[in-house]
Amino acid sequence: MTTKPVRNVVIVGTGPAGLTAAIYAARANLSPVIYAGIMHGGQLTTTTEVENFPGFEHGILGPKLMQDMTAQAERFGTEIIYDTITKVDLSGPIKKLWTDSEEIHAKSVIIATGATAKTLKIDGEWSLMGRGVSTCATCDGFFFKGKRVIVVGGGDSAMEEANYLSKLCSEVILIHRRDVFKASPIMLDRARNNPKITFKLPFTVSSLQSDATGLTGVVLENTENGEKEEMKIDGLFYAIGHTPNSVVFQPFVDLDDHGYIKVTNYTKTKTPGVFAAGDIADPHFKQAITAAGMGCQAAIQAQHYLESLNN
């Protein structure tokens, strides 16, 4: 176990929030270091075309956007370490973080570890992400204009996704394993009254069908009698929630009922010198552009915090 000198800013996570924070912190001469974790670039690495990030008239591939943001952060002096933070002690003026082989000391920490979309963990689903399978209708719905898609889920987010997709797709089929929903009555009624949305209950997706181009269909299983049937579709959207990657930071941050970090005054957590940005602190929007904006805020607030230490 090795110990390095005290860093000004340690950023945990390398999605749009973490990388934007790094760009701003590096340009402020704070010499930030990023610990990339297991998924460098976050959820955008599983997305194909990104068409709603400003500045790219014809869109950009998600991995390419993350590659370019990484290069930009490094150009200004950010150090990126491809390792995972497994333990922290964020109390006191010097924050301590650990990987399996290193102890890190920092004056400030920006948490940008994001949230992981829940899926059904079906064989082959990750190889089809961006090729017919998605966890974000707002991000990918445009690519299914005039096509037939299914939405898996039974909560408000599933109803919202289905209604959103109905404006773009020829048909939206909502799959739910029960005939009882967690969705609020108003959201459920809105989906049921939408002529382009049909409900298929009580079913779950048991397997995926695909060819060289991507997803072509699914096999559905009735959760009551086990009967199976095939359905040809162009897209599958998971809307069964996200798991914030926040556990390691307890008890130094407050979490809401779903595990998202609570922030006040933009990105401040309850611990002085510790900030949270992006999906880890945003249970509502979950967009690359909002994550980037929070990353900017966190870096500037970390800079102000560090300046206050010298006054």
What distance in Å separates the CA atoms of residue 145 and residue 65, rounded to the nearest whole number? 24
List the catalytic residue out of 68, 83, 123, 136: 136
Instruction: Check: CB of residue 149 under 8 Å from CB of residue 134.
Output: no
Q: For residues 70 and 169, what is the distance between their CA atoms, to the nearest angstrom?
A: 34
Query: For residues 250 and 270, what is the distance between their CA atoms, to the nearest angstrom?
Result: 11
Instruction: Establish whether 169 is a catalytic residue.
Output: no
Active-site position among 68, 123, 140, 234:
140
Pick the catalytic residue: 83, 89, 139, 179? 139
Give the catalytic positions in this structure: 136, 139-140
